[in-house]
Structure 1
Amino acid sequence: MRADVKAQRAELELLDNICRFRSDPAGYIKFIMPWGEGELADNHGPRKWQEEILDAVRDHLRNDETHFQPLLISVASGKGIGKSALVGMISQWGMSTQTDCKIVLTANTEPQLRTKTWPEVNKWFNLALNNHWWNLEAESISIKDPNRKRLWRMDRIPWSENRPEAFAGLHNMGKRIIVIFDEASAIPDKIWEVTDGALTDEKTEILWFAFGNPTRNTGRFRECFKRLKLRWKNFQIDSRTVEGTNKEQIAREVEDYGGEEEDHVKIWVRGLFPSQSSKQFIPSALVTAARKYKALEYDKMPKILSVDVARFGDDQTVIGSRQGRKAKVLAKYHGLDTVQVAERVIEFIIQEEPRAVVVDGDGLGAGVVDQLKSRGYKCFEFHGAEKPMKPETYFNRRAEIWGLMRDWLKEGAEIPDLQELEDDLVGPEYLSSNKGAILLEKKADMKRRGLASPDLGDMLAMTFAVQIAIADKDRRPQQGAMQSELSWLRA
């Protein structure tokens, strides 16, 4: 028999075998890889946790009720467990067992994608028995058939919040789509949202995987395990339970960092989200407690009305109040001009009868202040960049009022049971100036991380920009001076 005929028969046999594993990724990986040989000499198959996830895919695809429903899998883990290897296995199976499969891979940073995740993916394509099927390039892997390479491919795409549309074209009707997020904790929420909205094709196998060390306790990856836990199939992997990890080294690390409950150990060993992100200004535990707290005798305290005025199209104007140990969100608006905002504020002044009104005077807020003053309502115009009362502790006034709000929460306070408010309060991070003063993260920087402007949080924080004496509580701000009633927060 001629060599080319033998080669054709061998190729047909390989193709036939591969087709048997269309809905069995674990079986496919065991078949297609040279386990026990060469680079895999010390390995005899996927690790237990990897196989568990591959089997979850199998069960989903073999169930007629779920086959064409999106499968969302999130994996939070300690370090060194073989996440990138599983990314390579999933990619190799996905591309090999479905004609015209499309895969998109992204990571928290372009260097992570280029130097770590992508080389690992290429490794598994090279190891496979069908490695001759593929063009392995710097930014893509595609079938060698020139007529199909645009349809049957995997692309690595660095995320960009300024170009989220790169993730919006994830359509492959009647075929298979796989989206993989590596180091998902740091991928902005906007990219998640665009991806979520794009995965809508009917009669299509849709698989979305999010892998990462749980470095942040805010953001969409955290929400996969919390608010969105019913949508996502969640796995949390402790490095100590995984074959091939150095258990003695991990034990020393746990001891060095102070034990099981320390955030470093939670993140890098146990695969658990931290109690507080390393740079997070207000701990999540404080906010969670405040959503359940019930304030007493707050009605005997002076009430402060606060207005955070929207600056950009996706921001919102928020009006709220704080009275003693209780805070309220009174209203949220989009698209109002300064005259309309001022009119709403006046309505709440009449309704709530506050002792003080604080308005964000930066940007469009200055127009609201002018409108209120022109109608005889005096208010305190707040500017976050102004010098703080305690410059040795805070870089500017905005950081200072957030610090005062944090202290208020620590002492026990009642806030509305709103997820949006919690997200705002726990979202901002902080850093220190060259003199050691606390500087709160700018709104623009939060947006670059994929977080919304903390409008509700800023509204509540501004209620701490003034301090009111409890005496003379019947005096009101409308049509009268507030200056004699109030003093700036004491140093």
Structure 2
Amino acid sequence: MKVITIPYKPRPLWKDIIHPALDKYRFAVIVAHRRYGKTVGMINELTKSAIKNTLISPQFAYVAPFRNQAKMIAWNYLKYYTSAIPGRKVNESDLFIELPSKHKNAVGARIYIIGADKPDALRGTYWDGVVLDEYAQIKPELWGEVIRPALADRKGFAYFIGTPKGQNQFYEMYQRAQRSEDWFTCLYRADESGVLDEAELKSMMKDMTKVEIRQELYCDFTASASEVVIPIDLVTEAAHRTLVSRDVMGMPTVLGVDVARYGDDSTVIFARQGLMLNKPRVYRELNVTEVVDRVILAITDYRPEVVFVDVGNMGAGVIDRLRQLGYDNVYEVAFGSKAMEERRFENIRAEMYFKARDWLLSGGAIPDIPEFKSELSVVEYKFSDKTSRIMLKPKKEIKEKLGRSPDLADAFVLTFARPLYAPIDADDVRQQSYDPFAGM
């Protein structure tokens, strides 16, 4: 038997703990500090699995949030560590390597480098093993709707790897895995792993903020929790609450509508009644007329007291058309406009998110949607240098963390743009003089 030596020398923790554990567990979450060697370790885990797999035409994938990112991080590693395997083929355009087949006339084992921004590359096929890197920035439906079902036929594995970036979906996946006997979990800090020597570690820390040190080196999921408006634990608790229509009977309903342009963003409609938030209606690539039709349908179904629409993007056109059609309970909301509590909040955007937090603390129940929960739990606040009022950190930073726009969260908080009042009596008599903008 010919012996093939791959140029990989695993670090002690990989050799003694992680690789042996992955031989036993089908699912895993590995949390580790920056420069720990997560990518190298996982590329070699995929290579080993591809070599050992005896099924016909095995397929494996390393998935990062973006294709260019995945290529930059992992492609050269994959080519280097498989270079010693005779008969290996490299496909530069589609970013996969193919190993010789164990079956006559069959395609050999393939390892793909894929970006989560191109989900079609993962749809409609099977996978024998997948590694998801920086899961906090990957759309959560990719796991539940695409990857997990694709692993079922051949009992494929899935390993989640990353460094903490706050209390988000990666944190939630880590917590869930810790509670399951079927998952392997580990967490390695920079001061414990021995990967970075003491001098280099001290040098790095001089150039990092306290939050960055706790997060990037000490793997602290709560590093920025003091600045998070809605902690993930509160979001998770709210998602586990169950309310039905009779629990909120007689309470007024409000719609929040976040209108998106064409592209990756979504138009989202949320209906909230009392302490119950209904499942969102999510649409992609709609023009103004189509959005108006969807809002009218929601108004017909929910009969809201008021409809709050984000005036940004195409929102102004949607509002104008709804008013032309006689819907006089539709109000525009500009996220940068003045807050009702203007002494406390810099703008209405900050005020809405904090009102949403108060609502969750009072017992609000939300749909258990991973993407929605992630969006809610990454929004951070700070105090304005000029006014000392509360303001939220820029939406651009949120999009960088999530890899997408927080459309679900924005639609939800729009339902708190102005206060609503319960009907006068139990027969749901509407207050005819009600105007949420009265006195402004």
Equivalence map 1:42-441=2 (5 Å): 46-60=11-25, 71-99=26-54, 100-126=57-83, 130-138=84-92, 139-143=95-99, 150-160=107-117, 163-171=118-126, 177-192=128-143, 193-201=145-153, 204-219=154-169, 221-227=170-176, 229=178, 230=180, 232-250=183-201, 263-276=211-224, 282-284=230-232, 287=235, 305-309=253-257, 317-321=269-273, 327-329=275-277, 337-346=294-303, 357-360=306-309, 362=315, 379=329, 381-384=331-334, 387-389=337-339, 397=348, 399-405=349-355, 408=358, 413-416=362-365, 419-420=368-369, 422-427=373-378, 438=392, 441=395
Cα offset for 1:86?
Answer: 0.9
Question: What is the rounded CA distance, in whole Å, between the counterparts of 1:279 and 1:108 in structure 2?
Answer: 25
TM-aligned CA deviation for residue 447 of structure 1: 12
Which structure carries more relative contact order (alpha carbon 8 Å, separation 6+)?
2
Cα distance in 2 between the residues matched to 1:441 and 1:47: 41
- 1:447–1:453 Cα contact (<8 Å) kept: no
Equivalent residue, structure 2, for 1:63:
none
Larger radius of gyration: 1
* TM-score, normalised with respect to structure 1: 0.63
Compared with structure 1, are the counterparts of its residues 137 and 274 closer, same or farther at alpha carbon in structure 2 (3 Å cutoff)? farther
Structure 2 length-normalised TM: 0.69
Rounded Cα–Cα distance in structure 1 between residues aligned with 2:196 and 2:105: 41
Distance 2:383 2:47 in 1: 45
Counterpart of 1:75 in 2: which secondary structure?
strand
Equivalent in 411, 418, 439 of residue 458 of structure 1: 411
Q: What amino acid is aligned across from residue 480 of structure 1 in structure 2?
A: Q
AA in 2 matched with 1:233: F
Please tell me whether the aligned partners of residues 339 and 351 of structure 2 are also in contact (alpha carbons under 8 angstroms).
no
1:173-219 deviation per Cα after TM superposition (whole angstroms, max 9, x unaligned): xxxx2212233332232433421222221xx3512222211224223
Shift of 1:77: 0.7
Partner SS for 1:59: coil
Aligned with 2:24: secondary structure?
helix
Query: Greater CA deviation, 307-316 or 78-87?
Result: 307-316
Give identity over the alignment, percent. 14
- Are residues 119 and 401 of structure 1, via their aligned partners in 2, closer, same or farther at CA, if it must alter by over 3 Å? same
The CA deviation string for residues 272-318 of structure 1, in whole angstroms up to 9 with x for no partner, is: 4245479965443665687899xxxxxxxxx7642124868976643
CA contact (8 A) 1:395 1:439 kept: no
Structure 2 alignment gaps of length 5 or more: 242-250, 284-292
AA aligned to 2:129 is: I
Contact 1:317 1:334 (C-alpha < 8 Å) held by counterparts: yes
Distance 1:396 1:463 in 2: 13
Is the 2:131–2:160 Cα contact (8 Å) retained in structure 1? yes
Query: 1:487: how far off?
Result: 3.2
Moved more, 163-172 or 387-396: 387-396
Deviation at 1:73, TM superposition (A): 1.8
- The question of whether the paired residues in 2 share the 8 Å contact of 1:92 and 1:125 is answered with yes
| Separation in structure 1 between the aligned mates of residue 68 and residue 38 of structure 2, nearest angstrom | 17
Does the 8 A contact of 1:281 with 1:429 survive in 2? Answer: yes
Equivalent residues, number: 397
User: Do 2:125 and 2:150's aligned partners in 1 also have CA atoms closer than 8 Å?
Assistant: yes
Q: Distance in 2 between matches of 1:414 and 1:111?
A: 43
